[in-house]
Chain A
Amino acid sequence: MRMLTIAARELAGLFRSPVAWVVLAGAQLVTGFIFLLHLESYLQVQPKLIEAGAGPGVTAFLVPRLYGAAAMIHVFAIPLLTMQLIAGERRLGTLPLLLGAPVSTLEIIAGKFLGLLGILLAMVALTALMPLSLAFFTDLDGGAVALAITGHLLFVAGAGALGLYLSTVTREPTIAATATLGILLALLLLGEWGRTLGEPWADLLGWPAPATHLEPFLGGLFDSASAVFFVLFAGLFVTFAVRRLDNDRLQR
């Protein structure tokens, strides 16, 4: 259970540093503002929707817009949380403590990833508070909200795994953060570009982008292919991270 020991230290370390608090607060502030903006616009169009006799309810209107924006904001926030994971240990010179202890590289990386998931879970929960707060005033489509939360969690876990891998590549946390952000944005833009080119480019260029696979979840659809994509995406980069750290021992 040394994996949990590492995870617990990582999570405690993240919460002891001001970075995590600032990032969480900043992301929450911006997401909250966007949530209020969309809520306001829903309230404005609501009478027209009622007149028309059809149209999306508050969940269908708000959830995709809110989570679309939140995912975008978190693309900027996650690199700041992942950059320290291994690069920070390298800078502090604490890596030999982990490598010299009777734990495998897999346990080190898995522990790091679990610790990171802890803070990402806090991020997902804080975002979920916004749509859930509407439950006090109106009926929500519980299924749709639950799916959006699931999709959001898978999305941040995937992005976090990428950040974790890039943190193992360098000893400079800022480089790890910049690279993570750069790759996440590049994947996103590639998907958008594909969309403007039409088929078959939309599918082809959009496929590697996590944002593409978040969409079905936001639309109230549990797309198992997308769920598998996120699991593979995260698994791939966690594996890469293990290999990279192993390489430290072998090559350096």
Chain B
Amino acid sequence: MPDTTPLIDATGLCRDYGALRAVDAVDLRLERGEIVGLLGQNGAGKTSTMDMLCGVLAPTAGAIAIDGIDLLEEPRRAKRALGYLPEQPPLYPDMSVRGYLAFAAALHGVHRAGRRDATDRAMALCGLTDVARRPIGNLSKGYRQRVGIAQAIVHDPAAIVLDEPTVGLDPIQIRAIRALIADLGREHGIILSTHILPEVQALCSRVAIMHHGRILHGGPVSAFTDEAASDRITVTLRRAPVDAEIRAIEGVTDIEHLGPGRLRLRLDPTRGTPSGSPKPPCTPAGGWSRWRRTAPRWSSSSWNSRARIRRRRRRHEDAHDRCP
């Protein structure tokens, strides 16, 4: 029977720094064989969340189970199933790549007999075999990042946590590291944090969007590209009809008034796939002059704060409305 225990199951994670709540009631799950992207701006609380998942930082509140083992109750057992690459790779510049990975393996409880194999395997996976004897301090940034990832997988953990693994790399290095992560994702569960949306689209099966310490959205990455998967739409109408008329449209379950003429419609997730945008019921009697649908939009280059998106959308719509 396949093991269905989630690799990482965090519930209600909170983290306070003094009066500041950096992470607020975050729930995060990682199943076997999936890559979850934690997407958010700098300062959204991604690093704090990842530090907590890996036992580097104690949560103010909440529970974390790694492969079914409580991280706070039994940190030693739980951490064995974890590999962590912090934002700044934890490298000792004076050590050789092989020596460092052997140290990391020993630290994670790989027995002496298996240590050589473990380091060889990690180096082969990360393309480090050629630089095995070089001191880490002499390596380029791309190689260092690979050593950092090798360190996280040397003990063959079930779950890997990568904090901004491609930050500061050149495009070729980014492609290589992404390919490596995609490879690893076939055998391990991976949580990776980033502020780059295409990275999530390229790698992840699921995404959790974080802002101001909260998870604003969690779901499959396909939701970004597949508009049918969204369960809410915002419409702007020049002359909005009474609610009852809108409710009469098939699939609409709820209406929220956002402003004059602006409505957010909640849609029945089980509705049939609409063909394109919903058909505007242009009945002259109703006097609806415009039906404009605005599905959630995300910048293609980087993730923007919701506020900015909202502002831009509003500008866009205002312009639209002024048109005859």
Contact = CB atoms under 8 A, between A and B. Distances in A.
A5 B90 contact: no
Nearest to B18: A251
Interface in B48-101: 51, 54-58, 75-80, 82, 84, 86, 88-95
A102 B76 contact: yes
A98 B107 contact: yes
Interface in B15-65: 17, 51, 54-58
B79 A101 contact: yes
Given A97-B107, A101-B79, A101-B108, A250 B58 contact: yes
Nearest to A97: B90
Nearest to B52: A249
Nearest to A17: B94
A104 B76 contact: yes
A99 interface: yes
Given A96-B86, A100-B84, A2 B107 contact: yes
Given A2-B106, A2-B109, A100 B56 contact: yes
A195 B104 CA distance: 51
B65 to A, nearest CB: 15
Contact of B104 (A13, A97, A249): A97
A169 interface: no
Contacts of A6: 107
Contacts of B89: 93
B75 A94 contact: no
A54 interface: no
Interface in A1-32: 2, 5-6, 9, 13, 16-17
B55 to A, nearest CB: 6
A92 B106 contact: no
A32 to B, nearest CB: 29
Given A2-B109, A249-B56, A252-B57, A93 B75 contact: no
Which of A97, A99, A103, A252 has most B Cβ within 10 Å? Answer: A97
Interface string A78-117: 0000000000000011111111111110000000000000
Contacts of A95: 56, 90
Contacts of A5: 103, 106-107
Given A6-B107, A96-B51, A249 B58 contact: yes
Contacts of A17: 94
A35 B91 CA distance: 42
**Interface SS of chain A:** helix
Interface residues of A, number: 23
A216 B76 CA distance: 44
Nearest to A13: B94
A100 B104 contact: no
Interface string A218-252: 00000000000000000000000000000001101
B145 interface: no
A92 B90 contact: yes
Given A2-B106, A104-B76, A96 B58 contact: no
Which of A100, A101, A104 has most B Cβ within 10 Å? Answer: A100
A94 B88 CA distance: 8
A97 B107 CA distance: 9
Contact of A102 (B57, B58, B109, B151): B109
Contacts of A13: 92, 94-95
B79 A102 contact: yes
Contacts of B104: 97, 101
B79 A96 contact: no
A104 B57 CA distance: 13
A93 B89 CA distance: 7
A94 B94 contact: no
Given A13-B92, A102-B75, A96 B84 contact: yes
Which of A13, A99, A250 has most B Cβ within 10 Å? Answer: A99
Which of B79, B94, B103, B107 has most A Cβ within 10 Å? Answer: B107
Given A96-B54, A98-B107, 14 more contacts: A2-B109, A5-B103, A6-B107, A13-B95, A96-B84, A97-B86, A97-B90, A100-B79, A101-B79, A101-B107, A102-B76, A102-B78, A103-B107, A249-B56
6 contacts: A5-B107, A16-B95, A97-B107, A98-B107, A102-B75, A102-B108
